[in-house]
Amino acid sequence: MRLLDFLILLDLIVTSYFLDHYRCVKDIFLAVYNYKYTTSHVDFVVLFFIRQLVILYIRKTVRQAWKIQKIRDSIWRYYCLLFICGLAAIVKLLVLDFFVEKPESALWSTVAAVFFTISSIFIVRSLTSDGIENEESGSFALFRTIFNIHIKHWNAFRLPYLLLAAECVCFLYEPILYKRMQSDMFRDGPHDLSSCVKWQLVRLVTIILLSTKEYYMGLAKLRATVDLRNSVHENILHQPISFFDQNQSGELSTLLSSNCGTIASYTPELIASVATDVFMVIGDGMLLLTCSWQLTLTILLSAPAISFVSIYFGNERKMISEETVASDSRCSGITGEAFSGARTIRSMAAESNELRRYNLVNEEYYNIRSKDVGSDSSHGFLVNFGWRIDSLLIYWYGHYLRKYNRLDGQEFHTFVIYHFRAIYALTRLIKLHSEGMKTIGKSNKVLDLLSSDPKSKLLSGTEKPSVIGGITIEDVDFAYEIDGKRILKSLNLSIAPGQTVALVGPSGHGKSTLVSLLQRFYSPSSGRILLGGTPIENIDHKFYHSKVALVAQEPVLFSGTIRENILYGYDEGSEEDMMRVARMANVDEFVSKMADGYDTDCGERGVRLSGGQKQRVAIARALVRNPQVLILDEATSALDVESEALVQEALSRCSQDMTVLVIAHRLSTVRNADKIAVIENGSVSAQGTHEELMENSEGTYFKLVTRQSNVIG
C-alpha cells in the first residue's frame, strides 16, 4: 500500500502545483461559481477527485472479502470511468488552447491527469487481482515460454533481425525525406529534384531489405518449426503411458503438424511487427507533432478506446482458439480411428456410421470457427470504426485550426498523409494482443508439454545390476488415473530366476495390469517391484527393457521391412543376430517363401502379414536383445491351431534358461508351468503347480479348468 499512498500524494501535489490559479479553497469555490468550460481550470481538480474517489472506494471495498467478486465483475465500469477522465483532460487542453492565450499550466495539468489516470487503472487492477489473476500470469508464463523457444534459435534469426533493423532505420528516415520533398515542391521558384531522388532511393533500399529479410526470416522460422516438432515429438514419446490413455493419437498429431508451426512463427512475427510498426509510429509521430501537436493529441482520444476493444477481443479469441484446437483434435482423432480401423468398418458395413460421427464433430468445428470469424470481423469493424471517428475529428478540428490560421494547407496535407500511415501501424500494434492471445489459445497444449520434463523421470534410473532374473512383487496397489478404481490390492508374488510362472484368473481382475507395471508403463500406487533385488524404477530404462521383453496378444509392427521390425530399437543388432532369432521364432519358415524375403514390407501395423506371422516376428523382436525375463501376455490366444502350434514350438525353444511369466486364458498352455498364480480381485488368491491347485475343488483355478473342459467337451 505504500506505493499506492505515494501515488495519491504525488497526484495531489502535482495537481495543486500546476493549478496556480487556485491558492486556497476559496479560490476553488469562486471558480466553481464563475465556471466557464472554455476558460476554467477547475475541471482538473474535479478529475483529481474522481480518480481518488474510485481508488479509495475500491481500496475500502477489497477489505471486505464478500464484496471483492462484485468489484471484479464490474471492473470494466471503473476502467471506463478512469479512461473517460483521461479523455476529458485531453479535450479540456484542446479547448483551452483555443480560448486561453497561454495554456502552459493546462498542458502540464493534462500530462499529469493522463499519467495519473493510467496509474490509477493499474492501481485498481492490482487491488482487485491480488492472488487471483492466475490466468493472466499463466498467459505471461506461456508468452515467456514461447520467447525462450525463440531464443534457442537466435543464430538463425540474427541476419533477418539485422536486416529488420536496417529496414527500421529507413522507415525513420523516409518521412523526413518526404517532408523535404514536399517543401521543395511547394516552394516558389525552380524545384530541386534531389530530395525526391533521395526519397525514392530510400524506398528502393527499404523494398530490397524487406524482400531479403522475408527470405531469411522464412528459412529461420522453418528451422525453428522443425526443431520444435522434434522437441515436442521427443517429449510426447517420453510421456507416461497414462498420458496416451487420456489423449487421442489424432490430437497429438495435430499438435505436431499445425500448432508447432504457429508457435515457432509467432515470436519472430511479433518482433518484426513491433519493430517495424514502432519505428513507423515514432517516425510518423515526430512528423505529426511538428505539423500540429493539437491534431496529434486527437489520436490519443481514439487509441486507448481501440486498445480496450482489442484486449476484450483478445481474451475472447483465446478461449475460442482453445475450443478450436480441441474440436480440430476430435476431428483428427475420429479420422485416425476410421483409417486405422478401415477393415472393421468395411466388415461391419459401417461407412455411414463413421460419416455421421465425422460430420457431427466437423459441424461442431464449423460452429466454433464461425464464432472466431465473427469475433475477428467485429474486432476489425470496431477498430476501423474507431479510426474513422478519429479521422473525422481530425478533419473537423483541422478545419477550425485552418479557419483561425493556426495551420497552413501544406502542413495539414502532410499531417493527413502521415496520420493514415501512423494509424495503419497503430492498428497492427493494437491487434498484436488479439493475435497473441489467439496463439496462446492454440498453443496451450504444446507449451504445457514443453514445460514438463517426462524424460528426466523416465530416465531417472541409472543402475545396471549384474544379477537379473528373479522378480519380487511386494504389497503392490495400483489404480488408473482415469477412474481411480483400485485394480491391484496388496499383491505379493515371487518368481525365482529361470522359473516359468503362469498368471490365471477371471478377466478384468488385474493380470494385464500387473504386466503393465512390470513393463514400467505405470508406477505402483504403493508397494514395489524388484528385479534381481533392485527396484525396477532405479534400473536404467534402456538396460531394463533389454533384459525384460514382452510379447503381447496383439503385437504392433511398424511400417517397414521384416528385418527392420525384428531389429527395431536394437541399434547394436547385426544380420547374424537377426537370422539367429528368426530361426528360433520360426520366422524363417514363412519368410523364405516370400519374393523379397526379409525386405518384405509389413505395412502399417503389420497388415500385410497374417496373425501367426506377426506374432512370430514379435517373438523374434523380443528375443534379439537376449532378454533374461520373457513376458507372454496372451501371446497365442488369437491364433488358429496350426499357427499356435508353431508359435508354441518357437516359445518352448526360445525360453530355455529364461524367467518366463505367462498370462493365458487357455489353461492348457499353462499346465507345465513351474508355478501357477491365481489373480482374483487384484491379489493372489492361490498359487502352486497345476496338480496342487486342482486338489482344491472349491478353488477358482479348479472351477476355471472344469468350466473350460466342459466347453471343450
Domain boundaries, the chain: 2-120, 133-447, 471-712
How distant is the alpha carbon of residue 653 from its chain centre? 50
* Percent of the residues in the chain that have a pLDDT greater than 70, as a whole number: 79
What pLDDT score was predicted for residue 14?
A: 64
Distance separating alpha carbons of residues 433 and 452, to the nearest angstrom: 26
Distance separating alpha carbons of residues 70 and 67, to the nearest angstrom: 5
What's the pLDDT band for 492 if we cut at 50, 70, 90? very high
Which of 42, 20, 22, 26 lies closest to 96 in space, CA to CA?
42
Spell 497-531 as b/e; 16+ CB within 10 A means b.
eebbbbbbbeeebbbbbbbbbbbbebebeebebbb
CA end-to-end span of the chain, whole Å?
A: 86
> Within 13 Å, how many C-alpha atoms sit on residue 440's CB side?
24
What's the pLDDT band for 475 if we cut at 50, 70, 90? very high
Q: Beta strand pairing status for 548-551 and 500-504? A: unpaired
DSSP state of 571: T
Under DSSP, is residue 64 helix (H, G, I), strand (E, B) or coil? coil
- Topology of domain 133-447, CATH: ABC transporter transmembrane region fold (1.20.1560)
DSSP state of 494: E
Spell 290-327 as b/e; 16+ CB within 10 A means b.
ebbebbbbbbebbbbbbbebbebbbbbbbebbbbbbbb
Least confident interval from 143-147, 218-222, 271-275, 460-464: 143-147
To the nearest whole number, what is the mean pLDDT of the chain?
78
Distance separating alpha carbons of residues 241 and 416, to the nearest angstrom: 62
What pLDDT score was predicted for residue 132?
A: 43
What pLDDT score was predicted for residue 611?
A: 81
Which of 240, 249, 397 lies closest to 335 in space, CA to CA?
249
What's the pLDDT band for 327 if we cut at 50, 70, 90? confident
What pLDDT score was predicted for residue 212?
A: 92
For cell 496520420, name the residue.
419
Which of 147, 438, 436 lies closest to 264 in space, CA to CA?
147
DSSP state of 668: G
Torsion of CA 202, 205, 207, 209, to 10 degrees: -130
What pLDDT score was predicted for residue 131?
A: 43
User: For residues 25 and 8, is the Cβ–Cβ distance under 8 A?
Assistant: no
Least confident interval from 88-97, 435-444, 499-508: 435-444
Name the residue with higher pLDDT: 370 or 445: 370
Which of 217, 97, 107 lies closest to 153 in space, CA to CA?
217
What pLDDT score was predicted for residue 133?
A: 47
Least confident interval from 186-195, 265-274, 612-621: 186-195
pTM to 2 decimals?
0.69
User: For residues 544 and 629, is the Cβ–Cβ distance under 8 A?
Assistant: no
Under DSSP, is residue 632 helix (H, G, I), strand (E, B) or coil? strand
User: pLDDT of 116-170, one tens digit each?
Assistant: 666 666 665 665 555 444 444 455 666 677 777 778 888 888 898 888 888 888 8
What pLDDT score was predicted for residue 426?
A: 80
- DSSP letter for each residue of 127-192: HHHTTT-HHHHHHHHHHHHHHHHHHTTHHHHHHHHHHHHHHHHHHHHHHHHHHHHHHHHHSSSS--
What pLDDT score was predicted for residue 134?
A: 47
Burial class (CB in 10 A: 0-12, 13-18, 19+), 414: buried
What's the pLDDT band for 395 if we cut at 50, 70, 90? confident
Is 3.40.640.10 the CATH classification of the domain at 471-712? no
Q: Which long-range contacts (CB under 8 A, 24 or more apart) does 117-123 make?
A: 117/47, 117/51, 117/82, 117/83, 117/85, 117/86, 117/89, 118/86, 119/7, 119/11, 120/51, 120/54, 120/55, 120/82, 120/85, 121/79, 121/82, 121/83, 123/4, 123/7, 123/55
Under DSSP, is residue 490 helix (H, G, I), strand (E, B) or coil? strand
State the cell numbers at 554: 496383439
